[in-house]
Structure 1
Amino acid sequence: MISKNSTSFEDALTKTGFGKFNILAFVVSLTLVMGMTFEVVSVAYLVPASACDMGTTTAQQGLMAGVPLLGIIATSHFQGYMADTRGRRKVLGWSMCVAFVCGSCAALSPNWIVFCFLKFLSSGALAGTIPLTLTWLSECTPQHKRSILISLTSAMYLVTAGFMAVVAIPVLQLKFSIYVPYFNIFFTSWRLLNLLFASGCAVAAICMFSSHESPRYYLRMGKDEKAMNVLREMFATNLGKSAEEYDVLSVELGEETGAPTKGMFSSIVAQTLPLLKAPLLKNTILLGVLFIIAYAGINAFIVWLPFIADSIMKARERGEVMSFCEMMESTQNATLTENNDCSLNTFALLIVCGSSLAIGVLNIVLSTVINYVGRKRMVIAIQVIAGLAGLCVNATNSWILGTGCLIVYISANVNFGFISTFSVDIFPTYVKAMAVCLTLMIGRASSFVGINVLKNLLVTDCQLAFYIFSSITLTGACVALLLPNDVKMTKKDSAEAMSS
């Protein structure tokens, strides 16, 4: 309950206004997502580009591409606990530092095993980046702007993935080889690209340590004065007024904060158990299933998109004009008889870039209308359209139409952000970061399976791949029907706000 002399956190946050402070927090969030994307998605470019240098087989390349997900799965739960008990700012900042060090060292890997180990460490450090960033940003943003900023931040993942292709094209075409005697390796273009991708984490760490902790987290930890100081600074920065003019004297969360525990293991258990029993269990299961469907059905195609685009363009260079899947299988058969070529087709990378940027723009457009359409309706519509587009890849004999359908299919990637907005809303503060990390961890575990299954199917039975993964995506639309109807909730909240 909120006493008469206290203001609810949401009301206190609304009174700080929306302005420069929120824009800067949004920019910091973008750098965090960008740094994470550079490091985790880098394997999509580094694995095929390093194949000749490291002499890796197809099976080894599959493991190298999946290692970042294993790292994320291994530490997601722990990072959620750390963020809920040690603070969002501290965990995000130090995670970026560790990722930068390990990711940079991967550029000096003498073999694929060392590369996998270092990428496992760097991705493990970044396990909670997106959920913790969204949590931190949501707790610093007034409710009426929250969904839009969270969705736009999620779009940064897609925009960055597209920008990575722009960076990779000129760097991978550089022809140099510098022998490094201590490591017994030749420093070539793919290693330079690795360093460039890792540098994004360093930029993000600097930005995060220059920011404030979430005022909501401070309240949860009983540090009311620190929370008030942050709220006052937000007020002064946004509205250009003196901090003393902020008329809120005290703030209360007005929600359960959880019982204190001693010891790290007991604390982790205490943070997790509420998610596994009523009333939060149904939300944990629902969002966990949605993330499983989203990651298993869509993310696997995102990881292998450079490989898919490269295969199609190489078939096109040979003058083969067939259906999408026939061109995929033709390229894989050709590699068995032709010389080993580890280069990536430049035009293929441009397609990857254009596709990712187009989806990023789509995310921005959808984010601007999400409050009018409703998140639930948006999630369902996207899953249905994407699933049908995936099935249509097999329904056309034109590789051009097939490619267009594939792009529409992977555009369902925008649902990662929309589903995440439900996560940050329906869980209480004391388990919010843990809940978001746990549900995302479940989804990413399914993605690791999807990545390895998809690669094999693309080579052996391309059409079956689209039937299976498109069906999974359509199933997501049915599950999304169980999400809370945020449109009605928004109207109700607005009516209450007007009457108060």
Structure 2
Amino acid sequence: MVVKTNSVSFEEALNLTGFGKFNFLMQLLVFGLIMGMAFEIMSVAYLVPASACELHTTSFEQGLMAGMPILGIIATSHFWGYLADTRGRKKILTCCMSLGFLTGASAALSPDWIVFSVLKFLSSGAVSGTYALSLTLLSECTPQRRRSIMIALTSSVYLGSAGLMAVISIPVLQMHFSYVIPYLNMEFTPWRLLNLVFTIPLALVAVGMYFSYESPRFLLSIGEEEKALKVLKGIYMMNTGNNGEDYNVSSVVFDEDKHKQTSGFWSSIVAQTVPLVKPPLLKNTLMLSVMFVIVYFGINPFLTWLPYIADGLMKAIERGDDNLSFCDMLRSSHNETVTENKDCSLNSVAMVIVFVISFIIATLNTILSSIINYIGRKRMLIGVQLFSGIAGLCITLTDSWVASTVLLVAFMTGVLNFGFLFTFSVDIFPTYVKAMSVCLTLMVGRGSSVFGINILKHLLVDDCELAFYIFGGLTFLGGIFGLLLPADKKIVTKKPTET
């Protein structure tokens, strides 16, 4: 028998919807959103080296091309966060995916590296808020007891996407065709086809997002209690199979300060941003921003250049240079540039290796995400950060490239903290600035990785050993800084009070 309930807090109302079909469908949609974003942002790792022969790019130009997605993210993350907090998660995510598809697909018709860079800047700017906004939406539709696990699992998709892209690139880049498009002064070659393939998920999830629910917490925060109740009833019906009338919640109490509406575009942006840079939220903003910088600067450059690193190792092995150290193998491969050999296709075995590494890390993330509530997310984040940092510092201490490769995989496990860090972001900020705060802190972190991406590419060629000391050491220090993060018990939502 259903117990009559009058007015409850939002968390209690969400708990009463149960956990079932809706939550799994929402999780799949968020997986698709993150995959589409990852495909677009990380596509440069495959397209930049593959396009080198046709676009005649130098190492410096390739570094600029690879950094464009991050610059696009920096330029627009704040903007998307503001729109999501004032216009809604669903509407903005649908817009992001649609714009990302249009600009990303257009990059396949770029006549030169400059046009390609501009279009990648625009496409990445369009999808820049996807990760933060999708996790915000997921957190606001998931009961608290399952929230950390569901959010942490999304990193498995992000990590697995890199491996999936590597597998997709193998058959496409091995093709041999060239179609001249005279009006655009270009030839349509395999790397351009690969670019189009990478944009397909964006189109699919844009449609899925259009038919999804808006966040009930967001609706409640802007005073739309009736619409919020309608969404909660819809979730209840999907999860339980019962009639909506059986969801006996007549009123939902919003246990946060509601956002005060302001007139004017810029004044509204300021109103959304100012609370984050003054007490009491300033401390959390600074702390998470620094942590995002450490995690993204230390690890994201290696995620971007992993196909390049794997390709260099395999080509060195094929030449018989496997008696060299890890860094010497990379240097020897760089000396025999792809432009000299007129072969810009990536080594197939290397791409399989990228897939295997991504699969291993994604699987590890799934396992750790499943037990995060038992270990504690703070302990988990610190442990992963310290383990990754130590592995990075040890990569150049052995002359065996096999041992160095194993240590590189261990170092790459630091990307697990992308998702674990988000579990803090979505909990310690109030709803009316949550999307803005997540986008802002993420923007700072990704902004730092722009420098990391360019620095790492040069260091891998000029001073490979120093690269691992710098990035590995910073990652290790991140584990120590993680001690300042709030304890798990301090960021658990207050228990609801029944009336």
Tell whether the structures are fold-level matches, with TM greater than 0.5: yes
Match of 1:464 among 451, 463, 466: 466
Query: What is the match of residue 425 of structure 1?
Result: 427
In 1, Cα distance between equivalents of 2:167 and 2:335: 29
1:316-360 Cα offsets, whole Å, 9 max, x none, are 111112211111112222339953431211111111111011111
Say whether 1:326 aligns with 2:346: no
Shift of residue 442, structure 1, vs aligned partner: 0.2
1:67 maps to a residue whose letter is M
Q: What SS is found at the alignment partner of 1:18?
A: coil
Query: Which residue does 1:359 correspond to in 2?
Result: 361
Cross-structure match for 2:451:
449
What SS class does the counterpart of residue 60 from structure 1 fall into? Answer: helix
User: Does the CA-based 8 Å contact 1:374-1:487 persist in structure 2?
Assistant: no
Matched, 1:345 2:347: yes
Q: How much has 1:79 moved relative to structure 2?
A: 0.4
1:498 Cα deviation (Å)?
A: 12
Q: Which amino acid aligns with 1:350?
A: V
- Counterpart-to-counterpart distance in 1, 2:337 and 2:42: 25
Question: SS in structure 1 opposite 2:184?
Answer: coil
> Within 1, Cα distance between the matches of 2:497 and 2:181?
69
Contact 2:222 2:259 in 1 (8 A): no
- The structural deviation recorded for 1:6 is 2.4
Moved more, 283-292 or 255-264: 255-264
Equivalent position of 1:298 in the other structure:
299
Q: Deviations over 1:189-240 (max 9, x none)?
A: 0000000001110011011111010000100111111000000011111011
One-letter code aligned to 1:131: A
Question: Which residue of 1 is the match for residue 72 of structure 2?
Answer: 71
CA distance in 2, matches of 1:124, 1:146: 28
Q: Alignment partner of 1:134: what SS? A: helix
Match of 1:174 in 2: 175
Instruction: Work out the CA distance in 2 between the residues paired with 1:140 and 1:62.
Output: 39
Note the 1:32-431 alignment, pairs <5 A: 32-320=33-321, 321-335=323-337, 338-431=340-433
For residues 353-399 of structure 1, give each alpha carbon's deviation from its aligned partner in whole angstroms, at most 9, with x where no partner exists. Answer: 11011111111000000000000000000000000000110111100
Matched residue SS, 1:176: coil
What is the DSSP-based 3-state SS (H/G/I as helix, E as strand, rest coil) of the residue aligned with 1:481? Answer: helix
C-alpha distance in 2 between matches for 1:486 and 1:337: 52
SS of the counterpart of 2:180?
strand
Residue aligned with 2:267, SS: helix
Contact 1:148–1:370 at 8 Å: present in 2 too?
Answer: yes
Contact 2:307 2:354 in 1 (8 A): yes
- C-alpha contact (below 8 Å) 1:31/1:207 kept by paired residues: no
Are the counterparts in 1 of residues 428 and 491 from structure 2 also a CA contact under 8 Å?
A: no
Partners of 1:121 and 1:482 lie apart in 2 by 36
Output the CA distance in 2 between the equivalents of 1:489 and 1:290. 17
Residues 373, 487 of structure 1: 8 Å contact kept: no
Any idea what the Cα deviations from partners look like across 1:399-433, whole Å, max 9, x if unmatched?
01101101110111010000001000000000000
1:55-82 Cα deviation digits (max 9, x unpaired): 1111111000000000010000000000
**Structure 1 runs, 4 residues or longer, greater than 6 Å off:** 496-500
Shift of 1:487: 5.1
Q: TM-score by structure 2 length?
A: 0.97
Superposition deviation, residue 153 in structure 1: 1.4
Alpha carbons 2:298, 2:452 under 8 Å: kept: yes
Query: Retained in 1: the 8 A contact 2:8–2:498?
Result: no
SS in 2 for 1:212: coil
SS at match of 1:250: strand
Partners of 2:223 and 2:491 lie apart in 1 by 30
Identify unmatched segments of 5+ residues in structure 2.
Answer: none
Partner Cα distance (1:226, 1:336) in 2: 58
Q: Aligned partners of 1:191, 1:153: CA distance in 2, in Å?
A: 29
SS in 1 for 2:166: helix
Do 2:138 and 2:151's aligned partners in 1 also have CA atoms closer than 8 Å?
Answer: yes
The aligned amino acid for 2:68 is V
- 2:22, 2:312 → 1: CA distance? 46
Q: Write the distance in 2 (CA, Å) between the matches of 1:332 and 1:498.
A: 64
Q: What is the CA RMSD across the aligned residues, in angstroms?
A: 1.7
Q: Deviations over 1:148-175 (max 9, x none)?
A: 1111112210111110011000000000
TM-fit CA distance, 1:259: 2.1
SS in 2 for 1:301: helix
Q: In structure 1, what is the Cα distance between the partners aligned to 2:478 and 2:253?
A: 37
SS of structure 2 residue aligned to 1:286: helix
Task: Tell me the secondary structure at the aligned position of residue 182 of structure 1.
Answer: helix
Structure 2 residue aligned with 1:475:
477
Q: Percent identity?
A: 57
**Is the 8 Å Cα contact of residues 47 and 64 (structure 1) preserved in structure 2?**
yes
Q: Are 1:139 and 1:216, in contact at CA under 8 Å, matched by a contact in 2? A: yes
AA matched with 1:141: T
Whichever residue aligns with residue 468 of structure 1, its letter is I
Please state whether the residue corresponding to 1:249 is helix, strand or coil.
Answer: strand
Write the deviation string for residues 431-452 of structure 1: whole angstroms up to 9, x where unpaired. Answer: 0000000000000110000000
Give the count of matched residue pairs.
Answer: 494
Structure 1, unaligned runs of 5 or more:
none
Code of the residue aligned with 1:271 in structure 2: it is: Q
Conserved 8 A contact 1:75-1:124: yes
Q: Which residue identity does 1:328 align to in structure 2?
A: L
**Amino acid of the residue matched to residue 134 of structure 2?**
T
What is the CA deviation profile of residues 237-280 of structure 1, one whole-angstrom value per residue up to 9, with x for unaligned ones? 10111100111111122111232211010000000000000010
User: Within 1, Cα distance between the matches of 2:7 and 2:497?
Assistant: 20
Match of 2:484, SS? coil
Q: In 2 relative to 1, CA 175–340 (structure 1 residues): closer, same or farther, beyond 3 Å? A: closer
In the TM superposition, residue 497 of structure 1 has moved relative to its aligned partner by: 8.0
Distance 1:281 1:338, change over 3 A: same
Q: Give the AA of the match of 1:126.
A: V
